[in-house]
Amino acid sequence: MIGAIAIGLAGGIVAGLLGVGGGVLFVPGLVFFLGLNQHHAEATSLLAIVPVAIVGTYRQDRYGNVRRYDALSLGLLSVAGAAGGVALANSLSGTFLRDSFACLLVIVAGQLVHRTLRS
């Protein structure tokens, strides 16, 4: 229970502060600290992100930072992507999903470092 609380707080802070999905922290946290397999961690993270997104959006909207049309477009189109992604994820092994997720995190981290060094 303490692990879940720590993961939730960290994911919420990172999501609100940096605008990255809480899943960047939720998935590894659920795997490493709570012992979930990759499929369960990803599915749990998807549900956990809903309240994080609602609160983060509400707070950011109060500062005038939300472009509502773009957000609505992204959200609606993401529904189809999520349905397809879930079907694909369930057809793949947990090892492949874990390795793919790790590669994605390395690529995103590399892009952030590159952009930081350029500016």
Separation between Cα atoms, residue 110 and residue 41, nearest integer Å: 24
- pLDDT at residue 19, rounded to an integer: 66
- pLDDT at residue 66, rounded to an integer: 94
| Structural domain boundaries in the chain | 2-118
User: Cβ-count burial of 115 within 10 angstroms (0-12 exposed, 13-18 middle, 19+ buried)?
Assistant: exposed
What are the average pLDDT values for consecutive 10-residue runs of the chain, which has 119 residues? 84 73 80 92 87 85 95 90 91 93 89 89
- Cut 0.85: pTM above it: no
Indicate the DSSP class of residue 10: H
Separation between Cα atoms, residue 110 and residue 7, nearest integer Å: 24
- pLDDT at residue 1, rounded to an integer: 80
